[in-house]
């Protein structure tokens, strides 16, 4: 009776299959909510921006802190510096804080292979002189018509122009437009310049962006050996994306001891982004510039 046996086996198999299918359907149905809810917190943890490492890396002549904000865990570091000229260029510090805010809010994501180190103000004494704080501030807190033309807040508390205190063609006196300015007693005589040197040596950035104001231009950098090829690439990428002019060699007036030139002398590409105004962070434009810069790394 092979046929009858096969029929019985067939029926038994069908029943088993149906039981399994119904079981699987019911269990899938039961587990569905768990499948969608359980992994969600993990995914959120992954996409939430990493908490910044906020460190005090130095102090100014008057003892105000100089801080770095660090984002990302990649092996390639980009360094951003605002407020070299303190309150005279307070919008460069405002820009740095807007960048920090975007990173902390997760609206600007650090690519996995990169790491951003941001110094919002290298000259906290100069910033304090104009803004009344050396920490975070909003533009509305700043007195109107202040310091934009006078140069107040540009220098550190020793009356030194920090961007003349670095080791590239350093001289005790240098120029700012038609004025003679103090460049310190020797290269890196000022605690703020020493701090930047230390940060660069510790972080070993592949490129450095300085924010200043105002010239509506991105400048390359050089010391004795000319402009590094990568510096030109960075300058062009940033300037094009942010819609600033670009100038590969600053020759408006002679400069010695600038931080960008010192970086060029040790083989680190650096650009100076001079914002168009003295009153706005120009964040949208600089966000585009930073993204173009990232595209090169
Ligand atoms: Zn400046």
Least confident of 134-148, 168-182, 195-209, 215-229: 134-148
Q: Which tops the pLDDT comparison, 262 or 22?
A: 262
Query: Is residue 247 pLDDT above 50, yes or no?
Result: yes
Closest CA to 92 of 290, 291, 293, 286: 286
What confidence score (pLDDT) does residue 112 get?
96
Per-residue tokens: 181: 């300015």
Instruction: Write down the residue that tokens 């104009």 correspond to.
Output: 130
Cα 58 from chain centroid (whole Å): 18
What confidence score (pLDDT) does residue 1 get?
42
Q: Could you tell me the distance, in angstroms and rounded to a whole number, from the CA of residue 272 to the centre of ligand 1? A: 9
* SS3 track for the chain: CHHHHHHHHHHHHHHHHHHHHHHHHHHHHHHHHHHHHCHHHHHHHHHCCCCCEEEEEEECCCCCEEEEEEECCCCEEEEEECCCCHHHHHHHHHHHHHHHHHHHHCCCCCCCCEEEEEECCCCHHHHHHHHCCCCCCCHHHCCCCCCCCCCCCCCCCCCECHHHCCCCCCCCEEEECCEEEECCCCCCCCHHHHHHHHHHHHHCCCEEEEEEECCCEEECCECCCCECHHHHHHHHHHHHHHCCEEECCCCCCCCCCCHHHHHHHCCCCEEEEEECCCCCCCHHHHHHHHHHHHCCC
What confidence score (pLDDT) does residue 250 get?
80
Cα 248 from chain centroid (whole Å): 22
Q: Report the pLDDT averaged over residues 173-186.
A: 95
Q: Are 212 and 274 in contact (CB under 8 A)?
A: yes
Q: How far apart are CA 210 and CA 221, in angstroms?
A: 11
Q: Could you tell me the distance, in angstroms and rounded to a whole number, from the CA of residue 175 to the centre of ligand 1? A: 12
Least confident of 134-138, 140-144, 286-290: 140-144
Q: Could you tell me the distance, in angstroms and rounded to a whole number, from the CA of residue 274 to the centre of ligand 1? A: 8
Q: CB atoms < 10 A from the CB of 94, how many?
A: 28
Q: Could you tell me the distance, in angstroms and rounded to a whole number, from the CA of residue 84 to the centre of ligand 1? A: 6
Which of 190, 192, 222, 274 is labelled catalytic?
274
186 is catalytic: no
Q: What's the sign of the alpha-carbon dihedral 59, 56, 257, 159?
A: negative
| Packing angle of the helix pair 124-131, 90-105 (nearest 10 deg) | 100
Q: Could you tell me the distance, in angstroms and rounded to a whole number, from the CA of residue 212 to the centre of ligand 1? A: 4
What confidence score (pLDDT) does residue 141 get?
85
Query: Is residue 39 pLDDT above 60, yes or no?
Result: no
What confidence score (pLDDT) does residue 87 get?
94
Q: Are 165 and 257 in contact (CB under 8 A)?
A: yes
Query: Is residue 43 pLDDT above 90, yes or no?
Result: no
Q: Could you tell me the distance, in angstroms and rounded to a whole number, from the CA of residue 89 to the centre of ligand 1? A: 6
pLDDT single digits (tens) 25-37: 444 443 333 444 4
């Amino acid at each position: 009776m092979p046929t009858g046996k096969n029929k019985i086996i067939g029926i038994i198999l069908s029943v088993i299959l149906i039981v399994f299918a119904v079981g699987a359907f019911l269990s899938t149905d039961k587990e569905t909510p768990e499948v969608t809810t359980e992994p969600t917190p993990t995914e959120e943890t992954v996409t939430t921006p990493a908490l910044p490492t906020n460190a005090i890396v130095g102090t100014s002549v008057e003892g105000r802190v100089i801080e770095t904000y660090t984002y990302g865990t990649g092996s390639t570091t980009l360094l951003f510096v605002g407020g070299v000229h303190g309150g005279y260029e307070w919008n460069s510090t405002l820009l740095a804080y807007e960048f920090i805010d975007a990173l902390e809010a997760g609206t600007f994501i650090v690519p996995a292979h990169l790491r951003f180190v941001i110094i919002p103000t290298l000259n906290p004494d100069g910033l304090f002189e104009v803004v009344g704080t050396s920490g975070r501030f909003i533009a509305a807190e700043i007195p109107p018509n202040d310091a934009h033309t006078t140069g107040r807040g540009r220098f550190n508390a020793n009356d030194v122009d920090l961007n003349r205190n670095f080791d590239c063609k350093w001289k005790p006196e240098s120029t700012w437009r038609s004025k003679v300015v103090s460049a310190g007693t020797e290269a890196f005589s000022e605690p703020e310049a020493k701090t930047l040197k230390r940060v660069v040596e510790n972080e070993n950035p592949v490129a450095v962006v300085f924010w200043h104001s105002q010239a509506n231009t991105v400048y390359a950098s050089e010391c004795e050996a000319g402009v590094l090829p990568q510096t030109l690439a960075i300058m062009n990428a940033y300037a094009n994306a942010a819609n600033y002019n670009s100038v590969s060699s600053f020759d408006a007036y002679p400069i010695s001891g600038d931080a960008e030139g010192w970086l060029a002398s040790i083989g680190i590409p650096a650009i100076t982004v001079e914002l168009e105004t003295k009153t706005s962070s120009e964040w949208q434009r600089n966000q585009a510039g930073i993204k173009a810069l990232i595209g090169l790394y």
